[in-house]
Amino acid sequence: MSDLHLPRTAIIDERIQESPTIFTLRLRFEDATAQEVFEFSPGQFNMVTHFAAGEIPISIVNDPKDSHYFDHTIRVVGRVSEAMSKLQPGDRVGIRGPFGRGWPVVDASGRDVLLVTGGLGCAPLVSVIHYMMKRRNQFGHLHILQGVKHSNDLIWREQYDAWAREPDVNVLLAADVVTREWHGQQGMVTELIGQLNLRHGRTIAMLCGPEVMMLAAIANLRDLGIADHQIWFSMERNMQCGIGQCGHCQIGAKYVCRDGPVFCYSELADLMGAKGF
């Protein structure tokens, strides 16, 4: 019996500093066979262990077809991610995964997709945008909405510009606080939803960000006639085991680490927004 608690070692091949507090580690399993058989889908995550510091859940952001490596984009928010930020190429980490259910890329095939991100650290949604850009003919119109608190916070700006130049791709940016160079709008990302001409019946929505932002987005989407089962989002909870066992991440009967982190609104509609649940 394999021990799902036990990490496997992976080597850092590359380290990219994305912003002052965000970095990407490009990794491969030390065991070549483990790397060969490693399969994941956008929105899934690994538990990443730093020697002695501890273990944290991190979304896998590269394309599932990249068979020789996998990428984790990490923001420094606590003790473990701080320790990880100091790792260099050649260093090793422990990896358990992939865990959870990713984005409904099969359901989304042939549809228009609205992708709404609030704030930073939304690697889960970036991974699915990359996925769709690489398989452009499988999806209809893409609306990419990104909101940040301060316009200087936005990372991967060239990426957004590149996406915007693609046919049938609509990129809208919003920041609460803006500087003069900002080309996006001022305000909240959810306010952008009302400006869209969404074809309901054809549109599937994918959301990532703080729960209040996602709740506001869901309300807007429902007003526009998007059905509950076409609204998907990635939830964040205290995830420690990754296998629906340690109990911390439960929302009602769902384990976020195993049944999510990507959920359909119709699965959690009754419990979303209940304070402290």
Partner 1 sequence: MQQSAKIERQPGFLPRSDFQKLLDGIVQSGYQLLGPVVKDGAIQLMQISDVTQLAKGLTNEQQPGHYRLQQTAGERLFDWNHGPQGLKPLCFAPHEVLWVEQKDPLSFTTRLPDVKPTAVLGVRGCDLSALAIQDRHFLHAAGADPHYRQRRERLLLIGIDCAHSAESCFCASTGDGPSVNQAVDIGLSELDDGFLVWSGSDQGEAVLQRLDLATAQTQQLEQMEGQTEQAAREQQRQLPKPEELIRLYQRLEHAHWQQVADRCLGCGNCTAVCPTCFCYDTQHEVSLDGLSAQNVRQWDSCFSASHSSMGAFKVRGNILSRYRQWLTHKLAGWQEQQGRIGCTGCGRCITWCPVGIDLTKEADAILWEGSLDE
Between residues 184 and 261, which has the closer beta carbon with respect to partner 1?
261
> Given the rule CB under 8 A, which residues bind partner 1?
1, 3-9, 49, 51-55, 77-78, 92-94, 236-238, 240-241, 243-248, 250, 252-253, 258, 270-271, 274-277
Between residues 8 and 229, which has the closer beta carbon with respect to partner 1?
8
Between residues 93 and 142, which has the closer beta carbon with respect to partner 1?
93
Nearest distance from residue 6's CB to partner 1, in Å? 5
CB distance 238 to 261 below 8 Å? no
- Listed residue (174, 63, 215) closest to 129, CA to CA: 63
Kindly report the backbone phi and psi dihedral angles of residue 93, in degrees, each rounded to the nearest multiple of 5, phi listed first: -130, 170
The tokens of 228 are what? 């509950």
Q: Confirm whether residue 241 is marked as ligand binding.
A: yes
Nearest distance from residue 79's CB to partner 1, in Å? 10
CB distance 81 to 48 below 8 Å? no
* Helices marked H in 49-169: 79-84, 105-108, 123-134, 157-165
| Beta strands, E only, 183-265 | 185-186, 203-208, 231-234, 250-251, 254-255, 262-264
Nearest distance from residue 108's CB to partner 1, in Å? 25
Close Cβ partners of 134 (under 8 Å, ≥ 6 residues apart) = 63, 65
Between residues 68 and 248, which has the closer beta carbon with respect to partner 1?
248
Nearest distance from residue 244's CB to partner 1, in Å? 6
Nearest distance from residue 267's CB to partner 1, in Å? 11
Close Cβ partners of 153 (under 8 Å, ≥ 6 residues apart) = 19, 120, 175
The tokens of 252 are what? 């009602």
Q: Confirm whether residue 122 is marked as ligand binding.
A: no
Between residues 33 and 179, which has the closer beta carbon with respect to partner 1?
33
Binding residues: 241, 246, 249, 257
Binding residues for [2Fe-2S] cluster: 241, 246, 249, 257
